[in-house]
């Protein structure tokens, strides 16, 4: 049974153009080709990435946060209450008015106290500013190094300047050592992101992030199996070109460097829109959709690869919509914030009580005006 499924999965007509077999892609005469077994190494490398990430966040990102004066906002903890905690964990974190009134009777608290308890309890579960900074620092470092490495891999290749060269001689295209390591490192990193997504900062596009990571892993893996390596390196470098800018903008935002954050964000928005909404669909996807048909008839692998490209492009359009909304706020003079973020809730009643006693407070110190909203 397993052998039958294995044979169907690796049927040449699924992966290769007509009249070609896996035998045509066997190493010979000094030419080396991509093999599915090469990707086994990406799983242990992914766990190695998780270890390196932990060390980086502990010994690099945390001291850097201190140097940049990344400060945590003082959070008031919810008073222990078994009734409210049970409802919070088992039912919902956002009770409706009728549920609040019911919980008020069960817990012996007033309605206002119940509402305040849920606000504070939700804030306790939100990731700290230091956690956000450390995560952004790690991704910034990887994306920047990956972009530089990716450009070094492809900038001297003829298909970087002439996209028709991507398919010249396909699929009899020998793999270079630089392409091998570029693929292994990129795929391992995305595996590590998928493994850690449950513990990373959760944003409103959590489901879209999962789809993106899965689609990226499938696309990278399939392009390796089918020897779409030249196209794959171009696509990976294109994606890395804007990601490190976004992560650096987040870092400066968490550090309170608003002007620097806003300026980097504008650069990021321009690079993102140009690369993801212009170059990718009108150059790269045009290359993967039309140029191969000049060499061989369409086959399953051709359709599957381009379908996954459409999935990624759909996600790019979704994120571009969020970016444009953020850009509009910047242009109109509002603070740029991450539209995907879950904003921290303020405890108005507590603030009023503290203000009555000591005046407005910020991190325990009086200030003249604390009406601004801290954004992610």
Question: Into how many domains does the chain fold?
Answer: 2
In sequence order, the 6+-apart residues with CB closer than 8 A to the CB of 160 are: 154, 234
Same domain, 182 and 302: yes
Please state the pTM of the whole predicted model. Answer: 0.78
pLDDT per residue as tens digits for the range 229-268: 999 999 999 999 999 999 999 999 999 898 898 889 989 9
User: Domain range for residue 104?
Assistant: 82-125
Same domain, 133 and 253: yes
Is 343 inside a domain boundary?
A: no
Distance (Å, whole) CA 18 – CA 8: 16
Same domain, 214 and 99: no
Is 157 inside a domain boundary?
A: yes
pLDDT per residue as tens digits for the range 116-166: 888 888 887 777 888 899 999 999 999 999 999 999 999 999 999 999 999
Is 353 inside a domain boundary?
A: no
Q: What is the CATH number of the domain that holds 97?
A: 1.10.10.60
Choose one of 295, 315, 332: the last residue of a domain: 332
Distance (Å, whole) CA 198 – CA 143: 21
* pLDDT higher than 90, residue 44: yes
Contact by Cβ (8 Å): 126, 342: yes
Same domain, 212 and 101: no
pLDDT of residue 70: 87
At residue 366, the 3 state secondary structure works out as: strand
Q: Residue 347 phi/psi, 5° resolution?
A: -100, 85
Is 318 inside a domain boundary?
A: yes
Is 225 inside a domain boundary?
A: yes
Which range among 23-27, 44-48, 125-129 has the greatest average pLDDT?
44-48
Same domain, 53 and 201: yes
Mean of all residue pLDDT scores within the chain: 83
Same domain, 153 and 117: no
Same domain, 235 and 247: yes
pLDDT of residue 369: 38
Same domain, 262 and 224: yes
Same domain, 159 and 219: yes
Percentage of the chain lying above the pLDDT 90 cut = 43
DSSP state of 167: G
Same domain, 231 and 96: no
pLDDT per residue as tens digits for the range 335-360: 545 555 555 555 554 443 444 334 43
Is 346 inside a domain boundary?
A: no
């Amino acid at each position: 049974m397993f052998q039958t499924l294995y044979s169907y999965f690796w049927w040449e007509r699924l992966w290769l153009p007509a009249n070609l077999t896996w035998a045509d892609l066997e190493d010979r005469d000094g030419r080396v080709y991509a093999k599915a077994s090469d990707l086994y190494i990406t799983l242990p490398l992914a766990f190695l990435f998780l270890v390196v990430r932990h060390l980086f966040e502990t010994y690099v990102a945390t001291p850097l946060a201190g140097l940049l004066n990344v400060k945590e906002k003082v959070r008031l903890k919810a008073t222990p209450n078994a009734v409210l905690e049970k409802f919070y964990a088992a039912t919902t974190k956002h009770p409706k008015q009728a549920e609040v009134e019911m919980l008020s009777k069960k817990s012996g608290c007033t309605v206002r106290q119940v509402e305040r308890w849920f606000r504070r309890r939700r804030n306790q579960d939100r990731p700290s500013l230091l956690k956000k900074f450390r995560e952004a620092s790690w991704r910034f470092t990887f994306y920047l190094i990956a972009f530089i490495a990716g450009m070094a891999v492809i900038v001297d290749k003829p298909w970087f300047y002439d996209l028709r060269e991507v398919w010249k001689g396909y699929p009899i295209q020998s793999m270079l050592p630089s392409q091998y390591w570029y693929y292994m490192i990129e795929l391992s990193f995305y595996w590590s992101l998928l493994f850690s997504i449950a513990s990373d900062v959760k944003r409103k596009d959590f489901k879209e992030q999962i789809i993106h990571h899965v689609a990226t892993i499938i696309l990278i893996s399939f392009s390796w199996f089918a020897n779409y390596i030249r196209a794959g390196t171009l696509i990976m470098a294109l994606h890395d070109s804007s990601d490190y800018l976004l992560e650096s903008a987040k870092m400066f935002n968490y550090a309170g460097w608003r002007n620097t954050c806003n300026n980097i964000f504008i650069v990021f928005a321009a690079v993102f829109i140009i690369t993801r909404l212009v170059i990718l669909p009108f150059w790269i996807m045009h290359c993967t959709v039309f140029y191969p048909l000049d060499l061989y008839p369409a086959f399953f692998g051709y359709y599957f690869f381009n379908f996954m490209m459409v999935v990624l492009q759909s996600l790019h359009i979704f994120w571009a919509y969020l970016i444009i909304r953020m850009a509009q706020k910047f242009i109109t003079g509002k603070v740029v914030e991450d539209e995907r973020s879950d904003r921290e809730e303020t405890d108005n009643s507590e603030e009023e009580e503290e203000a009555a006693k000591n005046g407005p407070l910020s991190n325990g110190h009086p200030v003249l005006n604390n009406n601004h909203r801290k954004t992610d």
